[in-house]
Amino acid sequence: MREEGAYLRTLITLAPRLEDEQHDQALIKAFEAVMALPREWASAQLLVALVPYLTDERRDEAVAGIWENVQELRDERLQTLILELLVPHLNEDELERVKQFAAGVKDKQASTQLYVALAPRLLVEERDVILAGILRDSLGEHEDDARIYLLAMLAPQLHGAHRAQALAQILALARLIDNEQTRVEALVKVIPLLTGKQQESALRSVLTISNQLILTGALVRLAPQLSGDAQKQAIQAAQAIQDEWFRAQALIAFLPTISDRTSFLKLIRTAMVRILAVLQSTTLQSVLQNFLRSDVFKPSILSPTILGAITWHIIEICQEWSWQ
């Protein structure tokens, strides 16, 4: 399963980058192979990744397969991780089933995570009642790390006094928590909700961290939501990242939101040349992982024709490659 699963993850990730007949062939092949796998965590992840690209009967079969996986998993946090990814792609009847499932979840983190995923699909009155109850429970959490995690998940879905209450708690907790990753992940979720000095202070706290990996992840998530001076500060932080790979990924995240794309693309492609030079001396597996996981190899940077050709060659190589 491990070897076949690795190949199928690669195929599903690459298929959307193909065009026309090659695209359809790759998706059909992936769907048939995944449906034949045992019902477990890995196959559930693969099916969820496929759903947005499937239509009609194949799509319905995939959703049914995911529910079979969810029932087999037993662990509420794992079940929630699968269902929250699926929620945006469900019809009303399927959504009702997820709501019924959420009502029975006992784990506080899993319950909050699933209701946050459901919130945009709920009626306003239903949403407000549910989220107000989750807010009360989250504020009562004794562990600081757990409380800021729950509140940061919840805050973007809250409104008015409830949101203000959650944000005040998050900012207070952020000053107390030493763990950079916990603090940054929480602040990244709420910075777009803040204004004035509160936003300036929270953004400064994120942009001045020492860990370049955490900083890159934060900038990638913040980029689509920043403007004005906040965006300028974030871009300056991205340009100052020393690691070529991290810097390229951070800069790419700002590409859709800026007017001067030419100079940005020049910076990104310069970093790409250096990255490709390094990849020449690494393993095939390392090259493949970088190609799949990075926005460096995406249509905004490379033309669809070039990207499609690279992708198809990689699929051909993977069919002959030992995945052990």
- What pLDDT score was predicted for residue 324? 47
- What pLDDT score was predicted for residue 318? 61
Task: Please indicate, yes or no, if residue 106 is contained in any of the structural domains.
Answer: no
Rounded Cα distance between 28 and 179, Å, is 44
Look up the domain containing 185 and give its range: 123-209
Task: Please indicate, yes or no, if residue 320 is contained in any of the structural domains.
Answer: no
pLDDT tens readout for residues 168-209 = 999 999 999 999 999 999 999 999 999 999 999 999 999 999
Task: Please indicate, yes or no, if residue 249 is contained in any of the structural domains.
Answer: no
Task: Please indicate, yes or no, if residue 138 is contained in any of the structural domains.
Answer: yes
pLDDT, averaged across the chain: 85
Task: Please indicate, yes or no, if residue 313 is contained in any of the structural domains.
Answer: no
- Provide the percentage of residues in the chain whose pLDDT is more than 70: 82
Task: Please indicate, yes or no, if residue 305 is contained in any of the structural domains.
Answer: no
Q: How confident is the model at residue 286 (pLDDT cuts 50, 70, 90)?
A: low
Looking at the structure of the chain, the number of domains it has is 1
Rounded Cα distance between 31 and 36, Å, is 9
Which has the closest alpha carbon to 23: 304, 320, 324? 304
Taking the CA atoms of 242, 274, 323 and 303 in sequence, report the sign of the dihedral they define: positive
Question: Which is more confidently placed, 4 or 160?
Answer: 160
pLDDT tens readout for residues 71-95 = 888 899 999 999 999 999 999 999 9
Task: Please indicate, yes or no, if residue 195 is contained in any of the structural domains.
Answer: yes
Task: Please indicate, yes or no, if residue 187 is contained in any of the structural domains.
Answer: yes
Are 169 and 150 spatial neighbours (Cβ–Cβ below 8 Å)?
no
Are 271 and 258 spatial neighbours (Cβ–Cβ below 8 Å)?
no
Question: Which is more confidently placed, 294 or 215?
Answer: 215
Phi, psi dihedral angles at 315 (to 5 degrees): -60, -45
Tokens of 114: 């699933």
Q: Which of 113-117, 156-160, 282-286 has the lowest mean pLDDT?
A: 282-286
